Structure 1
């Protein structure tokens, strides 16, 4: 079985960037931590919610890098001087990446009950009709 690329479809022009984005997304290494939800909150808005119990706002970093929303978390190890009989809650770091389509903007982020909410909006697409004149040769 051969791998099909978008270039294999001659009627789809200019989608090379999309193919690169899909390949990059597959390689981001997003593991299962932290778990997250993605909701569509209206026709043109979304909300990403990550379960980040144990993280404070200052432990989290949200950036947009080359059309990619990147959420990073790094907890500080405060176990110095403490004696644990069992340690099942580890201080760990994470990175979650989400590829953003053209026109999707990151709005506000808020923490609530151990959940990080990041709101996104998508610009309403404009309908464009263009008539192309044919030159006489």
Structure 2
């Protein structure tokens, strides 16, 4: 069976990367560990908080790969301990969040078993660009006016 995408319309040119981002977000949303919160901390600021009891900063890695924030954790198992009961699992995890274009990771802080990752979304600049129209009229070629972004010409 062939899958039909909502982005297959001929009027939506160049949106295949959006479709891939939606697929990645769907896959990432099915993970259950570790639990997390996402909160808005300012008009253009977000914070992701992950509950990571038992993890130290050296057990964690944070990367941004192709607009995807990836947090990985792996606890080292203490071989010298003898457990009579082990109810707290030392397990590894990978949690991913798809980021919109332009979102920047500002900082990450591990405090009291919570990993806080602060994100900032800069305001997009409005751009207006006129495109040159080339004409060929009886062997003569003219280029009609070209202007660039707001505030200048190109």
TM-score normalized with structure 2 length: 0.78
Q: Which has the higher contact order (CA 8 A, sep 6+)?
A: 1
Which runs of no fewer than 5 residues in structure 2 stay unpaired? 137-154
Report the TM-score when normalising by structure 1: 0.86
Runs (4+) of structure 1 exceeding 6 A deviation are: none
**Shift in Å, 1:123:** 1.4
User: How many Å apart are 1:31 and its aligned residue?
Assistant: 1.8
Number of aligned positions between the proteins: 136
Structure-1 separation of matches of 2:69 and 2:98: 6
The CA RMSD over aligned residues, in Å, is 2.2
Give, in whole Å, the separation in 1 of the partners of 2:110 and 2:28. Answer: 24
Q: Structure 1's 73 and 29: CA in aligned 2 closer, same or farther, altered over 3 A?
A: same
TM superposition shift of 1:50? 0.2
In terms of Rg, which structure is larger? Answer: 2
Q: Following superposition of structure 1 onto structure 2, how do residues 37-48 of structure 1 map, counting pairs within 5 Å?
A: 37-48=37-48
Structure 1 residue 69: deviation in Å?
A: 0.8
How far apart, CA to CA, are the structure 1 residues paired with 2:81 and 2:46? Answer: 43
Q: Which runs of 5+ in 1 are unaligned?
A: none
Paired position in structure 2 for 1:108? 107
- 1:132 matched residue in structure 2: 131
Tell me, yes or no, if the aligned pair for 1:60 and 1:74 is still in contact at 8 Å. Answer: yes
